[in-house]
Structure 1
């Protein structure tokens, strides 16, 4: 590796330590307490002068004041000040701390707890061991790594210097745990389904394609888990769920990442109203786990996940915002003429369903700030959902929204194999008309349905977007540890 000047300075210190028979990367470490545990029991440990062994990374500036020195260490649980004296530590190690140790080095320290004259809890160090010599120095602005793109590229450094980022991912873990607890309590079985699939399906999206050399077969990274999970309902499980990665070959923006985490669940003998109540329960529980209550603040807007959510059919929502009647504008030409007559500006789409979706996305979705269910989606947008018996052009489907983002999607699942076959055929015609995200024909799934799937409610929820809302993060990259980044040039 080619090192810069600062790295070379640290590498020279490493060699000096080795010359003094100090191994800068020893095999073993020991500790008696985490820093958090030591602080939690500070008073009795300090009163009894209990010997402690702590470990951690040196963070912040080291202060050398003649025969006394101060530093802080962080072990991931908390931060603690070290108080070092030449008399207690000994001349050799005090000099090494002063001359050869640096910010970001990881150390093991022995000592006992005491408060300084200023009242700060500290470990009075009696001996020290170097556990890891850091060759890279901290960023120039120790107060934080502020370049957003660099933070995402070097998440490890972001986590070191921006402690609030760690809390986001602790919140993420707490929210997912809470979600699992709700689903497990309600009798859902957690399962795993294939990531590599011979046929992609379960959503409207373009897939990533790969190739299996031994089988001589194209495979696809899954865009959804839906069709495999519904096969399990056919097989007799009363309720199943999966939390895992999906992959969609789509653009990147503040709410989209090509690789993202979804929870999908299916409940036999349920319907989309069953899933509405489940969404409300899940969001209340996850919000409680993250924020200690049923409200969350997102970009200054207080969201309340406690009461029953607002609920509105899609056609009504579009009519209220645009004046367009979807029943009257029931084909692509009529809809595009209605959009032009209303003086609205949306991208033209190749199918009626896609045009409805574009109109909704442009003129309705941004206004859905408080938790809201939009229901009764057109059949053209819902190839896997049951029709509403009295309005067969629309389906028993809802999408859940908050702060203008879709965070969930649910159906009363279509279990009529002949209707499902016709939907697939219609999607095939849409694909031929230019809709690259149209659903593919899945003959094996049709075969599964012909064995009989009970009436079923199904739900998918975007974990990343939910965490954006609950942790007040305006970009999806802030809640994904290693988001996809454009390759650097050169």
Structure 2
């Protein structure tokens, strides 16, 4: 029992004792190395199964040893266990309970945990003594067979045990886990070890990305890659990160969007393209924003924003069914129905619904600004009626959009890359999908008129000159591509991280980023 108590003491140790415990583990490593048993010299291990494989195939893998005349199980050497019954697992030892000549331990691999039965009769005196000295967190390999304990738990009866890697740092205390969010984000590797739900979140994130690709492949989209280091960071309203390219002795920016290069590919005739990639925006950090995040953008020739609405609604429903197993998902206290047709509202109709103001009846910038003052909406002198409409929408509408809702027909002033509505030149063919009060995606009938685009770039240049650090700048090569000719096109951008938050019921964006951006720790 002494070894068991030592393990518990290590896991419950206060911070001031960590240095001592690390030294104890280093001393154990030195003893192993002196005895010619250095685990770090092992280069591979024949892992035939994972814990879930054993559970799923238990009936085929179970082995029941013969019994002697007194009804006790006979110790069967590994060589006499039928080959199709032998399992070889590898993973981290998460607990150990030593009871004299026999012990129980828990091994954790990528799929979960499994109980191990370890005895001196099976391993021999020396190997069993080595096992008793092992620490929680050590990485081990075991060979044996599957069986059920008297309590009915599927376990592995260990016949051989190998120390594959020595853990020199104690893990957090097992009953309380790793709960400090700052440490969890900085030491995600420990978070993944200690918190099974965290591992499941990132498995689900991987499934989301896989199913997006499957959905788009079925619709004949081509996945492509475009530059991250660019001369002109366009396609969105955001401040870029700036760096210096030494080989060319030129300033470069990290991309803030995928749009302008993907639309060049539409010009080139690829017709249906998408990219899933990192973009970088030099802005604040909060529960839904990280300065580097994953964006998916797609562009489809010969369709418009109505076509993008159909694609978006179909894709969200498909992802919910494939990843969550249902179109009725829970986020916090809200139940969100992705199975019903998504509501559609113009931005002005949404403001009329939730604020009681009809901006279709407002004719001038001055009238819009007067309304903003009346309703205590802060704005800048340079703002136009279109900007004021967007400010009203953000103030009064977003908080009400829990169920999936397409907000359509944005003001021209806030949409420099979007086609105007033929019936109303102050508006554009654009929509944003809102779910759980969040903007989930942004889509356009893409502007393909190079003359109109040049004029809108000029307006953005003027905004930049007036101090707008998020304004876009004229991109001459992109204009040249438009002059070559771009087909009528629908385009859309999805924030993958926010989508993962929704489908995994995660509170913050940091919970769905393996390594979120954090302020450096000063040493």
| TM-score strictly above 0.5 | yes
Higher mean alpha-carbon deviation, 410-419 vs 13-22, is at 13-22
Q: Which residue of 1 aligns with 2:48?
A: 32
In structure 1, what is the Cα distance between the partners aligned to 2:493 and 2:343? Answer: 19
8 Å CA contact retained: 1:349, 1:355: no
1:87 and 2:103 correspond: no
- The Cα shift of 1:349 comes to 6.9
Partner deviation per Cα, 1:386-419 (whole Å, 9 max, x = no partner): 0001110000000011111111000000011111
Quickly say closer, same or farther: Cα 1:144–1:346, change in 2 above 3 A.
farther
SS at match of 1:262: strand
In structure 2, what is the Cα distance between the partners aligned to 1:388 and 1:370? Answer: 26
- The Cα shift of 1:348 comes to 4.7
Q: Which residue of 1 aligns with 2:522?
A: 489
SS at match of 2:151: coil
In structure 1, what is the Cα distance between the partners aligned to 2:382 and 2:363? Answer: 14
Q: Which residue of 1 aligns with 2:177?
A: 144
SS at match of 1:4: helix
In structure 2, what is the Cα distance between the partners aligned to 1:290 and 1:156? Answer: 24
Q: Which residue of 1 aligns with 2:111?
A: 77
Max Rg structure:
2
Quickly say closer, same or farther: Cα 1:132–1:330, change in 2 above 3 A.
farther
In structure 2, what is the Cα distance between the partners aligned to 1:331 and 1:427? Answer: 20
- The Cα shift of 1:269 comes to 0.4
In structure 1, what is the Cα distance between the partners aligned to 2:147 and 2:298? Answer: 53
SS at match of 1:241: strand
Q: Which residue of 2 aligns with 1:215?
A: 248
Match of 2:187 among 144, 149, 154: 154
Q: Which residue of 2 aligns with 1:68?
A: 102
8 Å CA contact retained: 1:324, 1:338: no
Q: Which residue of 2 aligns with 1:13?
A: 28
Structure 2 unmatched ranges of 5 or more:
1-17, 65-80
SS at match of 2:155: strand
Q: Which residue of 2 aligns with 1:415?
A: 448
In structure 1, what is the Cα distance between the partners aligned to 2:260 and 2:328? Answer: 34
Quickly say closer, same or farther: Cα 1:477–1:331, change in 2 above 3 A.
farther
In structure 2, what is the Cα distance between the partners aligned to 1:294 and 1:152? Answer: 30
Q: Which residue of 1 aligns with 2:303?
A: 270
- The Cα shift of 1:193 comes to 0.6
8 Å CA contact retained: 2:408, 2:430: yes
| TM-score under structure 1 length normalisation | 0.96
SS at match of 1:441: coil
In structure 1, what is the Cα distance between the partners aligned to 2:248 and 2:343? Answer: 50
Match of 1:105 among 111, 121, 138: 138
8 Å CA contact retained: 1:143, 1:161: no
Q: Which residue of 1 aligns with 2:12?
A: none
Q: Which residue of 2 aligns with 1:176?
A: 209
8 Å CA contact retained: 1:346, 1:359: no
8 Å CA contact retained: 2:63, 2:145: no
- The Cα shift of 1:358 comes to 2.9
In structure 1, what is the Cα distance between the partners aligned to 2:368 and 2:419? Answer: 24
- The Cα shift of 1:355 comes to 3.8
8 Å CA contact retained: 1:112, 1:124: yes
In structure 1, what is the Cα distance between the partners aligned to 2:116 and 2:499? Answer: 39
- The Cα shift of 1:141 comes to 4.8
Quickly say closer, same or farther: Cα 1:346–1:63, change in 2 above 3 A.
farther
Quickly say closer, same or farther: Cα 1:191–1:349, change in 2 above 3 A.
farther
Root-mean-square deviation over aligned CA pairs: 1.7
Quickly say closer, same or farther: Cα 1:305–1:158, change in 2 above 3 A.
same
| TM-score under structure 2 length normalisation | 0.90
8 Å CA contact retained: 1:81, 1:123: yes
